[in-house]
Structures are given as C-alpha cells and as structure tokens.
Homo-oligomer: A and B are copies of this chain.
Amino acid sequence: MRIRVAVNGYGTIGKRVADAVNRQSDMTLVGVAKTRPSFEARRAVEKGYRLYVTGGGSRDEFEAAGLPVAGGLDDLLRDADIVVDAAPDKVGAENRAIYARAGKPVIFQGGEKANVAEASFNALGNYDACRGKRSLRVVSCNTTGLARAAAVFRARWGVEHWEVTLVRRASDPAETKRGPINGILPTFQLPSHHGPDVQTIFPGLPIATTAVVVPTTLMHVHVNHLRLERAPSGPAEVLDALRATPRFHLFARWEHVDGTPQVMEYARDRGIGHNDMMENVVWEDGLRLEGRDLYFFQAIHQESIVVPENIDAIRAVFDAAKDGPASIAQTDRALGLPPPRAA
C-alpha cells in the first residue's frame, strides 16, 4: 500500500517535494495545490500532476489559462493519507485547522514556528523520536544543514561549544523583488534564531549562531568553529566520518571548487531534479583541526536541502521504514543521490 501524499503550495519547496514524492516507490503523489496560475502550475500539468486550487485562488483563473483543475484543497485532502504543507512562511499555521478538520496528518516546513507541529524533524537527527507523530515540522534549510552536522559531531566526539556565522543568500535565483544586490546586511538578532532552532532537534546543544545576508542567490555558507569534547585523531578522521554519512558531499582540492558557483555548476552537470544539491557541501581544504578545535565551511543549497527530509518525515509519521538510516537510504536511492562511502 503506497502512502498517498498531497502537496499544498507549489513554490520553491512544494514543487521539489512533489517531484521527490513522485520518485518514491512507496508513495503516490495525489496532486498539488496552488493559488494562482504560473509557469510552475503549467509545468505541473505538463508533468501530469493533478492540480488543485488552494488559498482562495480562483478555478476560473486556472481554466482561463488553459490549466485543468481537479478540484479544491478539500478534494485533494480527501484522497490523501497525508499532506505536505509548502505554503509561504506563516501560512502553514493558518492552514492547520483545515488539515485537522480533514483529519489528515501533516508535514510543515521550517518557515513555521516550532509549535505548529508535535515535533521538529531532521532525518539524521531525530527520526526515531518522530515515529508515529501526527504532525512534524521539517526545520529550515540552515537548521537542516546544522542538524545534520550536529548528528555527526555529537555522536562521534561530543560538542562542547559551537559557533557559526551564517553567510546567507539574499534571495532565491527566481526571486526578483528582494535584495540587496550590492551590500552586506547584518542580522540584528544576536545570536540569531538558527541556534535555538537546531535545539528543537538537539535540546541543549551548545550552539550560538550569527548571520549576515549577502548578495548571492546560489547557496548559504556556514563558517563553523566547534570545540569538541574529545579530539579526533586528525582531520582525516573527521573527513572520513563525513564521507561515511549520507547527505554530505565532499569536494577535494583537485576538483578546483573555489566556492558556491562551482558547487552549483557541479549540481547542474549532475542533473538531479532541478539541478539541486541536496547534500551538505564540505570542502576537504576548508576544514582545519587544532586539537579539539574544528574549523570548517559548509555550503547549503537553500532550495533543496529539505526535500529528502520531507520524504523521510512522511515515512516517520507512518512508521513506514525500519529506522532512520533505512528511510534515508531509500529516499536517496530514489532521488539519485550517491550513497555514503563506508568508513
């Protein structure tokens, strides 16, 4: 029996989650709901996805655009076992009553407050604790990247202290109304909200985050300094551990990847859905160990990193995999992500 999945909201995250659901052998995409016609709605129809009208949108508007409509959000929910809410930030919380009325479990995104769902979710971080919940919140892109790294460092060496500067992209590539295009904007929340958000996955994790926004669209970059509880034997031990962990992608020096532009060029060459980079990207050259002090950079593709996490969150709700690692392996195989290299 496949899990029947509805996707409500068809923007940056929704369209990717829909495609990812569509590739899982244990799931069926019932359809996607959108408020207004757009190139993305057209593309959904071209792919054969059933299109539903949501959020006060008008069926007439879609039909005038030549896009067939299968129904409204209630129709979509009726035929689904679970809904992934990929509405804009804060709209998910407004949608909660609708999902409750339909009696369907739901996966929310990280733009919602933590209390929108029974638990916040990260596949490497807390899959087990999320089994059987009726609502989960997949944490945001930056938090997902940090939570994945936290899972590795906590388990292997322990984290005494972790400081991160998040160098954040100003807008996504297709956004044209946000800036800056030349300038650096400090985030005046000090420390930033990302640390507490990681703590929704790892309560009490000693992490402090600070953020700036910079004029790029490609990826975020995290500048990390951790003091570990136990010293790794050397940087190779850390790199081996990351290589052995799913959803980490390492670049070697000889690959000549100076920064995020080449990372995304690699992703375009690789050609996984939307040319995405769903892994935490780490440079072998960009990692330094001094005793228990670990410095490293990681790059985070804000548009796609949460996509596999949404798939695993669906499985966690139905307790449909043996465990977290099994779900991750199944998700990543279906998405075409390379398996980790055994340590």
Residues of A within 8 A of B (CB): 163, 165, 167, 169, 180, 182-186, 188, 190-191, 208, 210, 212-221, 223, 225, 258-261, 264, 283, 285-288, 295-297, 299
Contacts and interface: CB of A to CB of B under 8 A. Distances in A.
Contact of A260 (B163, B184, B287): B184
Contacts of A210: 165, 223, 225, 295
A216 B163 contact: no
A169 B186 CA distance: 14
B183 A216 contact: yes
Contacts of A221: 184, 186, 212
Contacts of A185: 258-260
Nearest to A288: B190
Contacts of A260: 183-185
Given A188-B285, A190-B287, A182 B218 contact: yes
A216 B214 contact: yes
A9 to B, nearest CB: 27
Given A180-B216, A182-B216, A214-B216, 18 more contacts: A165-B165, A165-B223, A182-B215, A182-B261, A183-B260, A184-B214, A184-B216, A184-B259, A184-B260, A185-B258, A185-B260, A186-B259, A188-B286, A191-B288, A191-B295, A210-B223, A210-B295, A212-B297
B186 A286 contact: yes
A221 B212 CA distance: 9
Contact of A214 (B186, B214, B217, B297): B214
15 contacts: A165-B165, A165-B167, A165-B223, A169-B184, A180-B216, A180-B261, A184-B216, A184-B221, A184-B259, A185-B259, A188-B286, A191-B288, A208-B225, A210-B295, A214-B214
Given A167-B167, A186-B286, A188-B283, A259 B218 contact: no
B167 A225 contact: no
Contacts of A287: 190
Copies per complex of this chain: 2
Contacts of A214: 167, 184, 214-216
Contact of A180 (B183, B188, B223, B259): B259
Contacts of A264: 183
A219 B184 contact: yes
A174 to B, nearest CB: 13
Contacts of A165: 165, 167, 210, 223
Most chain B CB inside 10 Å of its own CB: which residue of A169, A182, A286: A182
Given A214-B167, A216-B214, A183 B261 contact: yes
A212 B216 contact: no
Contacts of A180: 216, 259, 261
Nearest to A297: B186
A319 B297 CA distance: 45
A217 B223 CA distance: 21
A268 to B, nearest CB: 14
A89 to B, nearest CB: 20
A259 B167 CA distance: 14
A212 B163 contact: no
A285 B288 CA distance: 33
Contacts of A283: 186, 188
